[in-house]
Amino acid sequence: MADPWVAALFALFVWWFSTGAILIVVRRADRAGAAARRAATWGALPLLGLGMWGFIATLDGTGLQAAYGAFLSALAIWGWIELAFLTGAITGPNLHPCPAQLPEWERFLRAWGTVAYHEMLLTAALITLWFLGYGAENIFGLWVFTTLYFARVSAKLNLYFGVPKINTEFIPEALGHLSSHFRISRLNWVFPISITALTYASACWLERLFSAANTGDVVGFALLAAITMLAALEHWLMVLPLPDEKLWRWMLPAPPDTTKTSNKTRRPEKTHGF
């Protein structure tokens, strides 16, 4: 597991598997109803606690296990917050579709309202992790979470300003109103900034990887580089006509109402929203 290629493949597998696991839980909860969504969210709280424990426990570690442990701990924290969002437990005050023909300022406020509480929770988690982890020997969990945070903000801004392709197939029932806040259009001005920033960050991690003096740093920077490049790939999937939904569709149970899922990848059209 000290090989950087193995670490990168590990990051790829964990990204794919954890995304699929969350989607399965959310889809099954959707089929069972609102009570099941709440139970799934609060029943998974030990995952958040385990992530926080692992993050703190690995702060002073410099070896191989500490690098992997910090990586997995950051993903556990991130994963629970994402689960809470997808089940509708922690979203925002606006649960309504976006009306057409709104002025831009009102459209932005409505879009922010759909995710406000979730973004506040993510920001609070980021601040907490920086408070706990700044200056520690093991920086990898901190930077994994930070990378995911800013990549997510970037992705949401791109969805707000408009991208050519948005896959809404996996939007759960509790967040059905979100699709009305998406905009499909030509590339926006944020996209090249996002790709440049993620590419630069990936290059920085790779430079640190090649100059690393111990196996813990080699693995840690390989994991960081891999997760950052995956974030860049997710941005490119907003542009390229690739069937990324096939990565997880095969493992998911049918949605509650299959008649609504026949055309879930939205194509360029005049629309509005986030």
DSSP conformation letters of 150-199: HHHHHHHHHHHH-BS-EE-TT--GGGGGGGGG--B-SPPTHHHHHHHHHH
The answer to whether position 149 is within a domain reads: yes
The answer to whether position 36 is within a domain reads: yes
Residue 115, CA distances (Å) to 4, 17, 23, 82, 108 in order: 36, 25, 18, 11, 11
The answer to whether position 273 is within a domain reads: no
Which H or E run includes 29?
helix 4-32
Give which of 162, 155, 132 is closest to 56, Cα–Cα.
132
- Name the β-bridge partners of 184: 163
Range of the domain at 253: 4-266
The answer to whether position 274 is within a domain reads: no
The answer to whether position 271 is within a domain reads: no
Residue 65, CA distances (Å) to 68, 194, 198, 228, 265 in order: 5, 32, 26, 21, 40
- Does residue 65 contact residue 94 with C-beta atoms inside 8 Å? no
Residue 258, CA distances (Å) to 19, 99, 255 in order: 21, 25, 6
Give residue 53's pLDDT: 98
Query: Would you give the distance in Å from CA 14 to the centre of its chain?
Result: 13
Number of folded domains that form the chain: 1
Tens place of pLDDT per residue across the chain (274 aa): 789 999 999 999 999 999 999 999 999 999 999 999 999 999 999 999 999 999 999 999 999 999 999 999 999 999 999 999 999 999 999 999 999 889 999 999 999 999 999 999 999 999 999 999 999 999 999 999 999 999 999 999 999 999 999 888 889 999 999 989 989 998 899 999 999 999 999 999 999 999 998 999 999 999 999 999 999 999 999 999 888 888 888 777 777 654 444 344 443 333 333 2
The answer to whether position 44 is within a domain reads: yes
The answer to whether position 213 is within a domain reads: yes
pTM: 0.91
Read off the amino acid at residue 120: M
